[in-house]
Amino acid sequence: MGELADELPISRPAVSQHLKVLKDAGLVTDEAAGTRRVYRLNPAGVAALRDQLDTFWNRALRGYQEIAAQPDPDSTAGEETS
C-alpha cells in the first residue's frame, strides 16, 4: 500500500480506506507479505462490475434510443393534414 500511496495526492489513511472499500466490494484482494500488505485486482470482481456496467449502459442507451425514435411533438404541432 505504501508504494501506491506514495504515487497519489492523498494521505496513506485515505488510500487505506479506499482499498478497504474496494476489498469489501470484491474488486481487490490482499495478502500479508512480511510487514506489508499486497493488494491485487480480483479478476472475478472486476468481471462482475463490468457485467453490471454493461447492463446499466445497455438499458440507458436503449431508453435513449426509444426516446429518439419518437416523433418530435414540436415539429408536428401546427402542421395541417389533408
Break the chain into its structural domains and give their ranges: 2-69
How many Å apart are CA 25 and CA 58, to the nearest integer? 23
pLDDT, one tens digit per residue, over 39-76 is 999 999 999 999 999 999 999 999 999 999 999 878 76
Instruction: Check whether 82 has a pLDDT greater than 60.
Output: no
pTM, rounded to two decimals: 0.67
Q: Strands, DSSP E only, in the chain? A: 28-33, 36-41
Q: Which residues pair with 30 in a beta bridge?
A: 39
Q: Is 69 exposed, middle or buried (0-12, 13-18, 19+ CB in 10 A)?
A: exposed
Looking at CATH, the fold of the domain delimited by 2-69 is given as Arc Repressor Mutant, subunit A (1.10.10)
Note the pLDDT tens digit of each residue in 18-33: 999 999 999 999 999 9
Q: What are phi and psi of 39, to 5 degrees?
A: -105, 140
